[in-house]
Structure 1
Amino acid sequence: MQDRRAEPRILSDETGSITLDEHTEIACLVHDVSLGGVRITLPDATRVPSPFLLTAPPLDGIKLCHVVWRTDEMIGVQFR
């Protein structure tokens, strides 16, 4: 099967943190990191708004993210 992604992905299983507001953070796992976005898994992806802030070791600093697709436990995001 041909990979049709626009950018190469780096496989990852690092822990990260989604910041919802100044008082609320949600732990997550970060996968498939690219220059333009990332795939995230967490127990309840429906709680995550768009946009949000993401912090994780494979990323260079804090990223502002926009949800592109979502399932109950996964989110695909684009960096802004």
Structure 2
Amino acid sequence: MSYIENRRSEPRTRVNEGGLITLDEHTSIGCFVHDISAGGIKITLLDAVSVPNTFVLIAPCVGDKVCQVVWRTDEMIGAKFE
């Protein structure tokens, strides 16, 4: 288990489905939702560095949610729901 997993305050459910991150009214990028909890989500995408700290995620598992980045790597983001 990694350090990040040990800090989770809520259980996560694996969903493994596609989604979209909207960057502005005209730009969105595809992502893959790995898991979700009541307060947050873990996603992967090709260039996580290009995603702003606050973004809108659109995915069947959550609908439209405003998210705040908690941690990121080059290809993964852990975010909490606003």
What TM-score do the two structures reach when normalised by structure 2? 0.89
Structure 1: gaps spanning 5 or more residues: none
Query: Which amino acid is the alignment partner of residue 26 of structure 1?
Result: I
Task: Give me the whole-angstrom Cα distance separating, in 2, the residues matched to 1:4 and 1:38.
Answer: 14
Q: Which residue of 2 aligns with 1:52?
A: 55
* Deviating 4+ runs (over 4 angstroms): 1-4
Structure with bigger helix share is: 2
Aligned 1:33-44 pairs, distance under 5 A? 33-44=36-47
Task: Give me the whole-angstrom Cα distance separating, in 2, the residues matched to 1:79 and 1:4.
Answer: 16
* Aligned match for 1:23, one of 6, 14, 26: 26
Structure with bigger strand share is: 2
Query: Which amino acid is the alignment partner of residue 73 of structure 1?
Result: E
What TM-score do the two structures reach when normalised by structure 1? 0.92
The alpha-carbon distance between structure 1 residues 4 and 68, as it changes in their structure 2 partners (threshold 3 A), is: closer
Alignment coverage as a number of residue pairs = 79
Q: Which residue of 2 aligns with 1:6?
A: 9
